[in-house]
Structure 1
Amino acid sequence: MKRPSPRDRSADRQALVRWFAGPLGAALLAAEQARLDATLGSLSGYHAVQLGDLGEADLLRRCIAPHRVVVEPDSAGGAGRGGLLAVPERLPLAGDSVGVTLLPHTLEFCDAPHEVLREAYRVLIPEGHLVLVGFNPWGLWGARHLLRRREAPWSGRFLSPQRVKDWLALLGFRVELTEHLFYRPPINSPVLLKRMGVMERLGGRWWPPLSAVYLLVARKRVIPLTPIRPRWRARRGLVPGGLAEPTTRANREEP
């Protein structure tokens, strides 16, 4: 199967931004913004980087990092508002320099999601945090994804939280938080979405794995390289009984 080109992914990303401006996307974005506000406010670091934009929403608004930047692969997104033009698989950032990295639906619309996570690990400082939001391939949203792959956001590659966790563990991350949110069905009626608000409370209690999206928080682990010292065993000068210890050279008997 032919892999999509970066230009195709860029078009999908722009379609995703337009979808988030609609009724269903706006309701989901409000739920994601609330959870990100609560999560990012407790993560420290001087630099915070967001890989991919979701329109005019300031997803890093509650992040306490004094320097924040949005990385966008085209000028139609965050780069036009003071961001940085780059692809998430090849970040023009120094290693061990970023305190917090945010991936809002970034993995679903990139060519190599594992490489994006590898780059996120590279640029994070030791013990820095990765915050990731992704569409859940299970439940009603997952079923819609199987049926409508030509339209955003269903055109993205939905990755299960367990698969993402496995990738993070292989790279050296430790997952500290997993949250599921938004349980209303994928319908574009503002009236019905409002009436179904009770499903948020019921879904979080009874069927959390069937949420529309999930949020992961992972910390970059750094294992120090501790040199292994050789265990020297002191040679005893005496053998039990107080006698002198024999040497390795055997005495030759006189004829």
Structure 2
Amino acid sequence: MHAPIGDVFNLAEIENLLALEWSWVSSAPLTAPSGLAISLAPARGPASPVLSGQQSVIRLHLAGDGLGGDLNCSMWALPVETDSVQMIVVRHVFDVLGPHEELESELMRVLAPGGVLCLFGFNPASTWRLWWLQHALHGMPMPRWNSLAQARRRIAAIEAVQSQHGYLGGSWPSASAIDACGDGQRWHGAWSLVARKQRIAARAVDSHVRRKRVVLAPGLAQLSSRRVGM
């Protein structure tokens, strides 16, 4: 019998990797504007520390067919205003879901122009893959491997521009704490990709053209105040 994919993230080795990734995000010079941030994780876990420079962080995780945590909602209808989030950190969600256009589009909708999107995924070219195979013999599910190159192509398709990438996690999973390091090797356990949402280019408008008033959909008018402890 195969274990649920969420159980993988309760293993000490994977918990340490997640903590390392968050530590890297917190300390890396990402120059994200101060404001609202979203942390999206594959499973419920310990509350992540506050991001430096961010006023508040909405912590979400996969929960059945939707998202749970500080908000309970579907993946394609976040109760967050368009262009209102300055940073989104997504750790291994697509290793569970595989490519997910609806979620990707929704994340880009709420991310502000110039805002930072930080993605993490398990590295299919890593020596960790042997560790995964060993555990798979005992029923542990394998991730839906997404390479850094695949992530780059998807980023380019959703109006974002890559600014930096790297590898981290060491050459083999560890049950003890790992030092944060942004200069890992290509065979290390996870990859990171940082991108920014493209700003909308200003266009000259003919002064003779009458401008029309646009009414926003009411469902996107404000951030829900409902919060559920993680």
Tell me the TM-score normalised to structure 1 length: 0.65
CA RMSD of aligned residues (A): 3.3
Q: Choose which of 12, 27, 35 in structure 1 pairs with 2:5.
A: 12
Task: Specify which structure has the higher proportion of strand.
Answer: 2
Q: Choose which of 49, 56, 61 in structure 2 pairs with 1:67.
A: 56
Letter in 2 for 1:162: A
C-alpha displacement at 1:146, in angstroms? 5.2
Task: Specify which structure has the higher proportion of helix.
Answer: 1
Letter in 1 for 2:186: P
Partners of 2:54 and 2:72 in 1: how far apart?
Answer: 21
User: Could you say which structure has the larger radius of gyration?
Assistant: 1
Aligned: 1:159 with 2:140: no
Aligned: 1:211 with 2:201: no
Partners of 1:166 and 1:131 in 2: how far apart?
Answer: 15
1:47-196 alignment runs, 5 A limit: 47-52=36-41, 53=43, 55-58=45-48, 60-74=49-63, 79=68, 83-110=70-97, 112-145=99-132, 148-149=135-136, 150-151=139-140, 154-186=141-173, 190=176
Distance 1:69 1:125, change over 3 A: same
CA contact under 8 A between 2:14 and 2:173: conserved in structure 1?
Answer: no
Distance 1:110 1:63, change over 3 A: farther
Q: Specify the SS of the correspondent of 1:116.
A: helix
Partners of 1:86 and 1:102 in 2: how far apart?
Answer: 18
Distance 1:40 1:139, change over 3 A: same
Partners of 1:224 and 1:124 in 2: how far apart?
Answer: 16
Distance 1:49 1:116, change over 3 A: same
CA contact under 8 A between 2:39 and 2:88: conserved in structure 1?
Answer: yes
Deviations 1:141-160 (A, max 9, x none): 23444565541xx5321200
Q: Specify the SS of the correspondent of 1:61.
A: coil
Distance 1:170 1:214, change over 3 A: same
Q: Specify the SS of the correspondent of 1:164.
A: helix
CA contact under 8 A between 2:44 and 2:61: conserved in structure 1?
Answer: no
Q: Specify the SS of the correspondent of 1:179.
A: strand
Letter in 2 for 1:220: K
Deviations 1:93-119 (A, max 9, x none): 222111111101111122643332222
Partners of 1:157 and 1:111 in 2: how far apart?
Answer: 6
CA contact under 8 A between 1:45 and 1:128: conserved in structure 2?
Answer: no
1:194-205 alignment runs, 5 A limit: 204=184
Letter in 2 for 1:219: R
Letter in 1 for 2:8: L
- Give the unaligned 5+ runs of structure 1: 1-7, 230-255
Distance 1:85 1:33, change over 3 A: same
Tell me the TM-score normalised to structure 2 length: 0.72
Paired position in structure 2 for 1:220: 197
Partners of 2:123 and 2:98 in 1: how far apart?
Answer: 19
Letter in 1 for 2:45: G
Q: Choose which of 22, 25, 45 in structure 2 pairs with 1:36.
A: 25
- Give the unaligned 5+ runs of structure 2: 207-230
C-alpha displacement at 1:79, in angstroms? 4.5
Aligned residues: 199
CA contact under 8 A between 1:130 and 1:217: conserved in structure 2?
Answer: yes
Q: Deviation above 6 Å: which 4+ runs of structure 1?
A: none
Q: Specify the SS of the correspondent of 1:48.
A: strand
